A and B are shown apart, each in its own frame.
Chain A
Amino acid sequence: EPEVTQTPSHQVTQMGQEVILRCVPISNHLYFYWYRQILGQKVEFLVSFYNNEISEKSEIFDDQFSVERPDGSNFTLKIRSTKLEDSAMYFCASSELARQETQYFGPGTRLLVL
């Protein structure tokens, strides 16, 4: 069964550094999403992406964040100048269409900012 994959599974970085989290969505899916989950808290929407542009973003997704689809398979989340509070699990999700379609989540990248 097709699945969303993410790399790395874990990332440790120093405060102020930049990180890039990578995702490979399910191949025939057209909509891509990033969510984060701070330890012990709820899953929060960050951004959705369709047709090579951002469809929607939350207030969390400020200028520190950017997304890109550099090729036909990868979908990346870049976090510039990381802060301690960026430590969280970051989930990528994809859906075949936006409407009436389930979002399937990847296994997540656990980011720790020291």
Chain B
Amino acid sequence: GQNIDQPTEMTATEGAIVQINCTYQTSGFNGLFWYQQHAGEAPTFLSYNVLDGLEEKGRFSSFLSRSKGYSYLLLKELQMKDSASYLCAVRVSSGAGSYQLTFGKGTKLSVIP
């Protein structure tokens, strides 16, 4: 089966840096995604890692270590609008030509002044 763990909630100050961790145990690993989800809205794609290392995209960076089953999302220069849930999702290959996403429960980030 698939298991994805991430902290339930985090709080950080506006302007600061926050790191959201995600650990996973899956079979058929085919990439790790981070999505942002504001309450009542759809998940919005943030980043994607399939190889080990750091991917940087503006204020957001994501890191992957496949051997450790570990990823983190780094948010810099936090803004109030970054208050949202951050979803770690692993793409798994079933061998049937499909690549479903398995999501963690999400980390609710609250940015405070």
Contacts and interface: CB of A to CB of B under 8 A. Distances in A.
Contacts of A100: 31, 50
A23 to B, nearest CB: 12
A6 to B, nearest CB: 9
B104 A106 contact: no
Contacts, number: 61
B10 to A, nearest CB: 17
A108 B44 CA distance: 12
A42 B104 contact: yes
B45 A104 contact: yes
For chain B, give the interface size range: 20 to 34
Contact of B41 (A42, A55, A103, A108): A108
Which of B30, B43, B104, B105 is packed against the most chain A CB atoms within 10 Å?
B43
B101 A45 contact: yes
B55 to A, nearest CB: 13
Nearest to A35: B101
B72 interface: no
Nearest to B87: A43
B43 A41 contact: no
Given A41-B105, A42-B106, A43-B87, A99 B99 contact: yes
